[in-house]
Structure 1
């Protein structure tokens, strides 16, 4: 029957358990690391933890915009209860402090001592696979010449069930007070320690009890730091003629100083090159740049802690020092969060610790991109004062400025790319630009830009795609070989070469990206239709066989099902191809700018000019000409210098 008193007892037990549950807040790069850290702080296993996610972590993109996990971790109720039971067993002497309840195997043990005129027994039960106490051993020890009587049945009961960590009277002996053990309690001069030294009893003498030692300590004025565990251990296993500590002062604990918890590596010497899965080091990926995004937490000041005062054995106050506060290491382009102690990035860029201050640099300036720097990935603008050597890459969310030459490399930028000298691609260079590209010359490279390509000298044997214009306006301004696409305009002095040689193709009046996608779609559709024809032939063959035989072998029937599934899948893909192709064609038809090619010098024989997919193949050299679209044909008109005032560029790279 459930009574009100029973409910009250259960509620009190639950409240006690809830109060014993501790929690910690943890920041870490991964959830596993955060839980491992919390397990250390809570002194338990990860399997015993429950947690609440305060802020979900993010691995970032190629390590960019990485954000740590922030979780609150609790020890689950079951493990708290188990821990409480474990502490009770420790207190009873069943196990040592550093052992865990589920992993321990300990034999049972007994302690037999003479207190007053009583023979007292304490039995600790075995733990795990440990052996029980041997009744014969207890009886052998109790049978001494001074023993008067003992209760064997009671001893048998305690040997089997234990005494619950306390001494129980099981018999009597003939006491000789002159033979009692003698003990003395000494207090250190600094009042920090009290020791007990015991001289062993003779036959018929009484042992020193827990209450005797405690009474002696209090009799000398000890009011703090008395250790029941140490006294109990000394009573159980006396160390004779040796001073044993039984009480210690509560020492003061100085408060921890404030400190900065950094979310980035502050020691650049610890930054290591990336390792491949096989363990080999990729020396092009040196990981020397720590990118951050605006609003990303960079560090947090952990507040100083107050010290915890102590007491001497006599209760005298021992003062503790409070932790010291520190100033926040605020540098350039950082700000404080609303909590007043979390430092955030105020812009995208590279986080650096300079003169013990946190800075975010939106511009990265390096001497060159080579084996010393490795590949560069940066959330901001990159300025390279030298060359970008063959095989190395630069990726930037801002601009890329190269004051030297670019080799067989890859440059990717969300902004503009400026190359003071030239680009010598050796058929392995790739330029992807979210703005405009300026260069002295471009050779044997693939270039894709969202706005304009502006070149001073020449473009040779390149595939260049510009969503707006391709402009060459230097002394040579020569386009030789390759395939150039521009939605609006191509301007050059000369196109092609006098001796012919490599093919030169210019296309304007179209969206280069859309046209490339259209070509890819048609190629994929052609492959899909070819596979569809083969499937239909196989399906027809199997169905005809089934009509004749009425039943197909299991293997053939499975093949027929598989062929039909694939046919349906290809049919859906073909419908999607048709839909996207029609959308692209409609987009190309709706382009308002029909495109023009301006040539102030010579267009050499062999050059192919496309305006809105209409072709004009130049059979003989033509000078000072403009190619344009008119009523379904490519027309040639007199050259008129176009007005490109809206094309603004960096210093030294204007279109004029």
Structure 2
């Protein structure tokens, strides 16, 4: 049977549920957008929303008569309960822990308040090593002159176990209703904040409970932003005759605009000079170039955020702006990843902003390489319009082109050519290494290596030059004077050596320079190890003879003997490996099919030493227009053979011979 009391109870429960129910009203172009906006405002996911359509939207026809959707969305009751539990747990945990996650030591607290005609007690237990609430202190506050009765058992139990943050009735007092505390609600002009202004109770009057505050807010039609924590704080520690904030409506929060997150430094002034290991500043390492490789992520667009709508204390919805989208600033030699937001390098080179666009430059142009630029390391081609000054380095993965001259510097082109228009003056310190070929007007007092050709216009003077194919000196003054010139296939020049003697001129062809260099290094190592082994064997023999005579050795000499025997074994193993590698290299050099030849269209002066394969020929008298070649184990003199037409016209990739 349905009774009036049952209906009243159900209505009260329904009213309480409606008070806790959170909802927003949203307009959007589509239902999906409306639900996403509502979920952002309610701090949940669209799947956890329940909603009702207030006005159905319409996409329109050819852009005309378009109508937005208007919905009211509610947070699912179960998820709302879970959110509240989670927040309460987080608040308790945050309050009980130090910044490092360790428990705080917090003393217990208690509050005695008079609501209506009841005496109420709230007890907060201690945390960590905090001091618990003292029952005597509690009883002292409870036993006022107007106290009528106390439930001491309930008081004792509450003090021991706490009251779960609630006020527990523990007795009665002589209530003077006329002396009750009073308050009123003051709402700000923008309807976003609500304050209470309270007057202290008179003797025997009741204090203000949280229920009284909630009822007053309800009577003022405040439905949003009610802060239970603020209200509980007021009840625990009342503030009289001063506005106290109890409700603050959620203000709208505009969505953040899209932006570009760069993976490189866009402000070149922030690039720092490198320091050496000792902490000193190395002004040659200015660190101004930001090298990237093909496929490397350079930047990413962070998409805009949806705005989070707010509402007033009375539940009126406040619109928020969505963040603005932006275009990705794409320059040259970059591409987008499959996600449509990540910018990738489409080539090796230097990444920088050119007219605010992300760009990869595969070619770096410099007026010069000096103290202003520092050393250059670049994943691409480097073009120097002036000189590379003494003591500065250029390292590139592509070509290196120098329109001026190169001093006592180090240039390395890993996979490209090196072109020096005005020549190389190495001052016995310069080093150039090309992954392909090298062109220069002249080479003087430098070390030069190339995987393919070395082509010089005027001459090679007192330098160590190595080419895995050919060395071609082809100008009017094309001479090789002094130094050591290697080539696997051929060496061509006009004049070789010097009529006045001076520096020794050595030319070698018909072998792999790298293999021969390695062979020479191994032979040198073998000689050093042999010498060390002879000394060790002599020391071992001496100690062993002493041991035979004395039957025993002092501890330190015994240790020395063992160490020498161990080193002897290591050297023998190392020498076996070296001998095996030398045999392999020498077999390779003997079987090398390239015979090799040296040609001079002009004069070859006396004293020049020529090695073809393993055969040495020292020129005794001046010889003109000659080609030296290998035949039947000897170096022969033949008629001059000019370089092939292809070699004579050879030029760097991307350059002409003009």
Measured in 2, the distance between the counterparts of 1:535 and 1:470 equals 46
1:298 offset after TM fit, Å? 1.0
Give the Cα–Cα distance (whole angstroms) in 1 for the partners of residues 543 and 200 of structure 2: 102
Q: Residue 597 of structure 1 aligns with which residue?
A: 598
Residue 634 of structure 1 aligns to a residue in which SS? strand
Alignment check: 8 A CA contact 1:425 1:444 kept = yes
Q: Which residue of 1 aligns with 2:348?
A: 348
2:97·2:104 contact (CA, 8 Å) conserved in 1?
A: no
Residue in 2 that maps onto 1:182: 182
Which residue in 2 is equivalent to 1:318? 318
* Compared CA separation, residues 613 and 325, structure 1 to 2 (3 A): same
Q: Which residue of 1 aligns with 2:194?
A: 194
What is the DSSP-based 3-state SS (H/G/I as helix, E as strand, rest coil) of the residue aligned with 1:412? strand
Structure 1 segment 609-648 matched on structure 2, within 5 A: 609-646=610-647, 648=650
Question: Where does residue 649 of structure 1 map in the other structure?
Answer: 651
Pairwise CA distance, 1:86: 10
How far apart are the structure 2 equivalents of 1:94 and 1:593?
81
Aligned counterparts, 1:85-484, within 5 A: 88=88, 91=91, 95=95, 101-102=101-102, 104-152=104-152, 154-413=154-413, 414-484=415-485
Q: Give the drift of 1:160.
A: 4.2
Is the partner of 1:505 in helix, strand or coil?
strand
Greater Cα shift, 247-256 or 120-129: 120-129
TM-score (norm 1): 0.82
Larger mean CA deviation between 164-173 and 560-569 belongs to: 560-569
| Pair 1:256–1:635, CA change in 2 (3 A) | same
Larger Rg: 2
Query: Contact 2:96/2:104 (CA < 8 Å) preserved in 1?
Result: no
- Residue 644 of structure 1 and its aligned partner are, at CA, apart by 4.7
Q: CA deviation at 1:549?
A: 5.9
Which range moves more in the overlay, 570-579 or 253-262?
Answer: 570-579
Please identify, of 624-633 and 409-418, the stretch whose mean Cα deviation from structure 2 is larger. 624-633
Give the alignment's TM-score, normalised by structure 2.
Answer: 0.82
Supply the distance in 2 between the matched residues of 1:141 and 1:497 (Cα, whole angstroms). 117
Report what 2:39 is aligned to: none
Gaps of 5+ in 2: 1-82
- Superposed CA deviations along residues 289-309 of structure 1, whole A, max 9, x for unmatched, are 111111111111111111122
Distance across 1 between alignment mates of 2:560 and 2:96: 68
Contact preservation (8 Å) 1:90, 1:96:
no
Native 8 Å contact 1:94 1:125 kept in 2: no
Describe the SS at the equivalent of 1:513. Answer: helix
Q: How far apart are the structure 2 equivalents of 1:651 and 1:95?
A: 72
Alpha-carbon distance between aligned partners in 2 of 1:94 and 1:590, rounded to the nearest angstrom:
80
Give the drift of 1:548.
Answer: 5.9
In 1: Cα distance, 2:185 partner to 2:575 partner? 96
**SS of equivalent residue, structure 1 residue 500:** coil
Q: Is the 8 A contact 2:417 2:652 kept in 1?
A: no
Q: Deviations over 1:157-207 (max 9, x none)?
A: 444443332222333322111111111122223221111111111221111
RMSD: 2.6
Distance change in 2, residues 1:250/1:449 (3 Å):
same
Shift of 1:235: 1.0
Distance (whole Å) between structure 2 residues aligned to residue 271 and residue 493 of structure 1: 50
Tell me the CA shift for residue 579 of structure 1: 2.2
Give the Cα separation in 1 of the matches to 2:564 and 2:103: 59
Is this contact kept in 1: 2:612–2:635, CA < 8 A? yes
Instruction: State the SS of the aligned residue for 2:421.
Output: strand
Task: Give the whole-Å Cα distance in 2 for the aligned partners of 1:322 and 1:543.
Answer: 91
Cα deviation, residue 618, structure 1? 1.7
Helix, strand or coil at the partner of 2:197: strand
Residue-by-residue CA offset, 1:97-147 (whole Å, 9 max, x unaligned)? 995651633332222211222222222233334333344433333332222
1:278-335: CA deviation from partner (whole Å, max 9, x where unpaired): 3322111111111111111111111111112222211111111111111111111111
Quote the offset at 1:605 in angstroms.
1.8
How far off is 1:89 after superposition?
6.7
Q: 2:370 is paired with a residue of what secondary structure? A: coil
CA deviation profile, 1:478-520 (whole Å, cap 9, x unmatched): 1111111111111111111121111111111111111111111
Q: Distance in 2 between matches of 1:114 and 1:93?
A: 30
Is the partner of 2:95 in helix, strand or coil? coil
Q: Which residue of 2 aligns with 1:584?
A: 585
Name whichever of 137-146 and 322-331 sits farther off: 137-146
SS of residue paired to 1:351: strand
Compared CA separation, residues 182 and 108, structure 1 to 2 (3 A) = same
Instruction: Measure how far apart 1:546 and its partner are.
Output: 5.3
Moved more, 390-399 or 179-188: 179-188
Residue 91 and residue 526 in structure 1: after superposition, are their counterparts in 2 closer, same or farther (change >3 A)?
same
Residues 309/173 of structure 1: CA separation in 2 closer, same or farther (3 Å cut): same
Q: Which runs of 5+ in 1 are unaligned?
A: 1-82
Would you say how many aligned residue pairs link Structure 1 and Structure 2?
A: 574
Query: Would you say the 8 A contact 1:389–1:409 is kept in 2?
Result: yes
CA offsets 1:370-424 (integer angstroms, 9 cap, x no match):
0111111111111000000011000111100000010110000020000000111
Query: Do the aligned residues in 2 keep the contact of 1:92 with 1:164 (CA within 8 Å)?
Result: no
